[in-house]
Structure 1
Amino acid sequence: MNYEQLIHETALADERLIVMTAENRALIRNLPGPLGQRFIDTGITEQTMIGAAAGLALRGRVPVVHALATFLTLRAFEFIRTDVGIANLPVKISSFVPGFLSDGNGPTHQAIEDISLMRGIPGMTVFAAADEQDMLAMLPAIWASPSPAYVRVNTRPATYQHAPFEIGKAEIVSEGYDVTILTYGMLFEQALIAKDLLTEAGYSVGLVNLRSLKPLDSAAVLNVVKTGGLVVTLEDHFQTGGLYSIVAELLLENELTAKVLPLALKEKWYKPGRLSEVLEYEGFTGQHIARRIGEKLGDKANAFNERTEVIENQFAE
């Protein structure tokens, strides 16, 4: 099953669901026929789409809206905040090519502040799937929730068999006492590679998929902090306002401190290119992540190169 099939089946089972797009049909191009009037394309008008979705939600509908992540969160921000957020309406926002997934595009099309913006709206829930399998497991609960929701769409193939999803719960992949990587979205794939490289180098490595960023699984994060090891926040987002800020807020609220290594974009947009090139150039491949963590832990030696190619091939199979 893919995204289009899931939303099609959900719409057939629940007549409240309305599929909307601002002339971005990449994920839903076959739905106009079967859904008829419940498929609405407003054209390149993200603000109008959000306003119309709010109106439909006021009348008992559950609109699932689609557009490029950067235009949804920036161009239509006021409409999301005012029309959807203040009224706390169940509008579900599917944001296409967020973060590094907008690989070939320049800064105007890079949604790398979207988590910060969306989590700042009272009542808005925020989610980011590790891959397509993770996303398909997450969406039914998100669409069924009465809350507004922002979802980073991710259709990359899975490299890991995910646990069942529950809103507000993290997926604990492994536990470790030397270091734990907290991540979300498409960088989970690289975090898995980094975990194996670090494990081969002799470290005890934890990995947590924070697929639900708001509400956050605070207990899971605090448990990681209490192990006393290095905490790594890994994200394709600006360092300000994203996962690093989320963890910092949680620690301050609980009067705790921790050794934290943020791996994010700091005061810069990323250089456009193919996704593999972006990850390499910006230092977000599994090998780069493992090396940076190893250096923070005190291992200056290049202990990861020998195993990198083998493990990357294992995940590719």
Structure 2
Amino acid sequence: MSYEELLTELSLADERFVVMTAENRALIRNLPQLLGKRFIDTGITEQTMIGAAAGLALRNRIPVVHALASFLSMRAFEFIRTDAGIPSLPVKLSAFIPGLLSDANGPTHQAIEDVSIMRGIPNMTVFAPADEDDMVKMMPEIWASPKPAYTRINTRKTSYVHAPFEPGKAEVIEQGTDVTILTYGLLFEQALIATEILKSEGLSVGLINMRSLKPVDEQAILKAVDQSELIVTLEDHFLTGGLYTIVAEVLLKHQKTAKVLPFALNEKWFKPALLPAVIEYEGFSGKQVAEVILGYQTNHIQPEILKPQFAE
């Protein structure tokens, strides 16, 4: 089942659903003719869309809004914070092409600080499916919640079949004593590859899909820290404010320390290209991740993306 098929099924069964978009219909092209007045395109007006969605939520509707992740999280930030977050209204934000999924676009269209921005809003929940199967299993629970929600939409198909979803719970794929990789969203694919490479080198490797970033599964993080010598965070997001920061917050809260090796974008936007080339260029491929982890295990060599960048 696709995102559109799921939303169609739920919307036709429950008249509280109102589907909205700021002139971004890529995920929902067939819904206007099916939903009639319950489909609203506000045009390129993300702020207006959020204000209208909040009004609908006050009237017992479930507005599911769609826009590019960069504009939804940044252009409409104040409206999301004030109209949806503070009153804790069930406005459901579907953020299209987040992170590296914006592959061929430049910095203006790259949402690589969105997790940090959205999880800072009171009452907001934040989710990042690993692929289409994960997303379809997650969305019914997300849309059923009375809280506002921001979801990094991910329609990529993989062969992995995910476990049922529970908000606030991570999906533990494997447990390991040498290394545990924590990841979310698009890079779950690469984490699977890295895991197999590391296992072939004789390491005991854990892998956790941190699909719920707020609320976050603190116990899954703490258990991984207790079991593994090294924790790796892998994310298509800025180093600041994303999963690396979340792990640091959890460790500090529980007065624990750990060896943590982060893979993230270190205060720079990624180079636009087709997705496979972006992943390779920025050092996020499964093979590259595995090589860096092996190098770190042997010599404590940090990945290039974390080394200081100096202008020439």
TM-score scaled to structure 1, two decimals? 0.94
How many pairs align? 301
How far apart in 1 are the matches of 2:228 and 2:10? 44
Contact 1:228/1:258, CA 8 A, preserved across alignment: no
Contact 1:181/1:191, CA 8 A, preserved across alignment: yes
How far apart in 1 are the matches of 2:228 and 2:189? 25
Which residue of structure 2 aligns with residue 74 of structure 1?
A: 74
What's the secondary structure of 2:166's corresponding residue? coil
1:162–1:299 distance in 2 versus 1, CA, 3 Å: farther
How far apart in 1 are the matches of 2:20 and 2:262? 36
Opposite residue 74 of structure 1, the aligned amino acid is M
Opposite residue 11 of structure 1, the aligned amino acid is S
Opposite residue 157 of structure 1, the aligned amino acid is K
Which residue of structure 2 aligns with residue 20 of structure 1?
A: 20
How far apart in 1 are the matches of 2:163 and 2:175? 15
Contact 1:17/1:63, CA 8 A, preserved across alignment: yes
Which residue of structure 1 aligns with residue 305 of structure 2?
A: none
Any residues of structure 2 matched to 1:1-317 within 5 Å, and which?
1-298=1-298
Which residue of structure 2 aligns with residue 306 of structure 1?
A: none
User: Any runs of at least 4 consecutive aligned residues in structure 1 with deviations exceeding 4 A, and if so which?
Assistant: none
How far apart in 2 are the matches of 1:25 and 1:248? 37
Opposite residue 131 of structure 1, the aligned amino acid is D
How far apart in 1 are the matches of 2:45 and 2:159? 36
- How far 1:227 moved relative to its partner? 1.4
What's the secondary structure of 1:73's corresponding residue? helix
- How far 1:299 moved relative to its partner? 6.8
**Unpaired segments of 5 or more residues in structure 1?**
301-317
Cα deviation 1:178-220 (Å, max 9, x = unaligned): 0000000010000000000000011000000000011111101
Cα deviation 1:108-133 (Å, max 9, x = unaligned): 00000000000001110000000000
How far apart in 1 are the matches of 2:262 and 2:118? 20
How far apart in 2 are the matches of 1:295 and 1:72? 39
Opposite residue 286 of structure 2, the aligned amino acid is G
Opposite residue 59 of structure 1, the aligned amino acid is R
How far apart in 1 are the matches of 2:8 and 2:136? 13
- How far 1:229 moved relative to its partner? 1.2
- How far 1:160 moved relative to its partner? 1.0
Opposite residue 91 of structure 1, the aligned amino acid is V
Which residue of structure 1 aligns with residue 306 of structure 2?
A: none
How far apart in 2 are the matches of 1:267 and 1:99? 14
How far apart in 2 are the matches of 1:217 and 1:249? 12
- How far 1:158 moved relative to its partner? 1.9
- How far 1:228 moved relative to its partner? 4.0
Opposite residue 123 of structure 1, the aligned amino acid is N
Contact 1:159/1:189, CA 8 A, preserved across alignment: no
How far apart in 2 are the matches of 1:121 and 1:224? 28
How far apart in 2 are the matches of 1:253 and 1:228? 19
Contact 1:88/1:147, CA 8 A, preserved across alignment: yes
What's the secondary structure of 1:298's corresponding residue? helix
What's the secondary structure of 1:12's corresponding residue? helix
- How far 1:159 moved relative to its partner? 2.7
Which residue of structure 1 aligns with residue 303 of structure 2?
A: none
How far apart in 2 are the matches of 1:167 and 1:242? 18
How far apart in 1 are the matches of 2:77 and 2:8? 27
Cα deviation 1:140-175 (Å, max 9, x = unaligned): 000000000000000000231111111111100000
Opposite residue 168 of structure 1, the aligned amino acid is G
How far apart in 2 are the matches of 1:102 and 1:24? 14
**Unpaired segments of 5 or more residues in structure 2?**
301-312
Opposite residue 52 of structure 2, the aligned amino acid is A
1:209–1:135 distance in 2 versus 1, CA, 3 Å: same
